[in-house]
Amino acid sequence: MNSEISSIVKENVRYSNDWWSVTTKFTSFFSYTERFHTTTAMNLLEKMNLEGSFLDVGFGSGLLIKKLMRRKLTVVGLDISLSNIKCFRKNLRKNQPVYTLPIDPFHSELALKGDSVDGIVCSHVLEHVPDDSVLIKEMHRVLRPGGIAVILVPINEEDIDVPTHVRKYTKEKIVQKLSPYFEILESGSNDILSHYVSFFGVRKTFISTIIKRSLIFIFSFLPSKLAVAIDRFLIDNLRIKKRTSQVYILARKISRDSCNTDRSGV
């Protein structure tokens, strides 16, 4: 691992350990973006048969875990931050079927047995890890045959220099990386609103600051389903797909014997 990637990983650890203080300081923005990402993931999961056990890789504040728990699922949450794990567990009631484990930020191996979970959500994590191929293989390993994976990664970051991101994705690139291990059931892009909040955030002018703060304030009060509906309307009617901020993928684990088959034509 080169020194640049190593420094980014260390920055990710610092950032994750400060998650709770960061979300307090920038509540509006993080509330909106996390709710949007979580709603996108849940919309995909609900198209499938939700039962059994699910793994949330990089669970952050635990919003997705809470939504999965309401559906009577057993949930395992992994995170690089011991502080996140500790803070989240403080808010759990006794005997809730939730298990939280640390993950090594430098190696991405998952501390789970093979074929042990029915579903995985990996939301805005792959861009942070030193080697995304390792984590993709690990997700394939721990999923049961036919298990479901929901993957979200950012795109269109040319205008934004994110110090905690190791790499930048396109839709084609992430599909190509996943295809040897997963059958792509659905893929697309969304989240125009968050993209423009981020875009204005890197323009250090008085006007851009006013615009950014106004957008954050407005978006933070939008119900998740309304935000998704507005986002869908903008994509369908304004033809601005290239400015969306994330790719979402719903995939199914393929057998080990099929892992050498090219399935990237989705």
Residues facing residue 182 across a β-bridge: 253
Tell me the per-residue pLDDT of 185-223, one tens digit each, with 9 for 90 and over. Answer: 999 988 877 666 655 554 556 676 676 667 666 766 777
Tell me the per-residue pLDDT of 94-120, one tens digit each, with 9 for 90 and over. Answer: 767 788 887 776 777 898 999 999 999
CATH classification of the domain holding 18 = 3.40.50.150
198 in a domain, yes or no?
no
Percentage above 70 pLDDT, the chain: 71
234 in a domain, yes or no?
no
Domain count, the chain: 1
Structure tokens at 155: 């795109």
> Which residue segment(s) compose the domain that 47 sits in?
3-25+35-191+241-256
Residue 105 and residue 13 in contact, taking contact as beta carbons nearer than 8 Å = yes
Whether residue 243 is predicted with pLDDT greater than 80 in this model: the reply is no
Residues facing residue 148 across a β-bridge: 119, 252
CA dist 88 → 61, 108, 130 (Å):
7, 21, 25
Lowest mean pLDDT among 63-67, 176-180, 247-251: 63-67
The stretch 80-87 carries a mean pLDDT of: 80
